[in-house]
Amino acid sequence: MNITLDVKKTVEENAQVYFEKSKKSKKKIEGVKEAIALYTKKLEDLKQKESDELGAFKDMNEKIQAKKAIKREWYEKFKWFISSEGFLCISGSDATSNEIVVKKHMSEKDIVFHSEMSGSPFTIVKTEGKMPGKATLNEAAQFTAVYSRAWRQGISGVDVFWVNPDQVSKTPNTGEYVGKGSFIIRGKVNNIRPDMEICIGIKEGRILAGTRDVMKAYAEKYVVLIQDAKAKTSDVAKKIKHKLSAGDLDDIGRFIPSGGAKIKESVGC
């Protein structure tokens, strides 16, 4: 280290010069230390953010993979259930899906359900040529009633009827108009007055919906829902997911009737 002295200054004055320089250097060093600490903190924050984002991505990817792991059947595009007697039942949820359910998926030997109230779904029992028993008929009627406008309007009961496919037509009578998702029913109908409640359960990761008997036949555990106009669907879905300890919120939400619902009881949870 070289030291330069000013011969015109005294030893004390030269010493004072270097003392001042040392103070400035010390301040610079402190500033550098503060800068290092600041950037170290920023780097740690960035690493933490990156870690959080990676964790969120992994969680999302796991959910996607879990959904892929459950093979989706064609009928899961609609509201659906398997009756306690083993019959597949599919139901529309709006005008478009009603149209598809009836036009594309109704076969000659099936049974068709609808309610006396407009704005109700068409529910098809896929019979495969076999005659369903009273249990399936009641289950399909209840499914139709729950997802009808009656639930949305807080009506405690509604008449549901069933007919054969050849009684369902898109051809209107003179002076009538048949809109999208609507059909003309001709001939004698068979009426059922079902209960207004729906169960949502789970089996091997798949969300199920149906009557108590359907749940008893298939679900590992389930909740029973009744009408509650004050309830928010997203909040109810979270409560159901918590009760079931599994399930996707979107899948659960699809089976919660429009118009509000609350958990009346839970079984096996």
List pLDDT tens digits, range 215-245: 999 999 999 999 999 999 999 999 999 999 9
Q: State the pLDDT at residue 172.
A: 81
pTM value is 0.73
Structure token pair of residue 95: 């005008």
pLDDT reading at 83 higher than 90: yes
Give pLDDT, residue 50: 77
pLDDT of residue 211: 97
* Res. 67 pLDDT band, cuts 50 70 90: low
Calpha distance 124→218 (Å, rounded): 20
Element containing residue 267 per DSSP (H, E) = strand 261-267
Residue 98 has pLDDT above 90, yes or no: yes
pLDDT over 70 (residue 93): yes
Residues 6+ apart with CB under 8 A from 53: none
The predicted structure's pLDDT at residue 40? 78
Average pLDDT of the residues of the chain: 86
| Across 43-52, 143-152, 173-182, 191-200, least confident range | 43-52
What pLDDT does residue 143 have?
98
Give the integer Cα–Cα distance in Å for 110 and 97. Answer: 17
**Res 8: pLDDT:** 65
Give the pLDDT confidence score for residue 65 in this predicted structure: 52
Q: Are 93 and 120 in contact (CB under 8 A)?
A: no
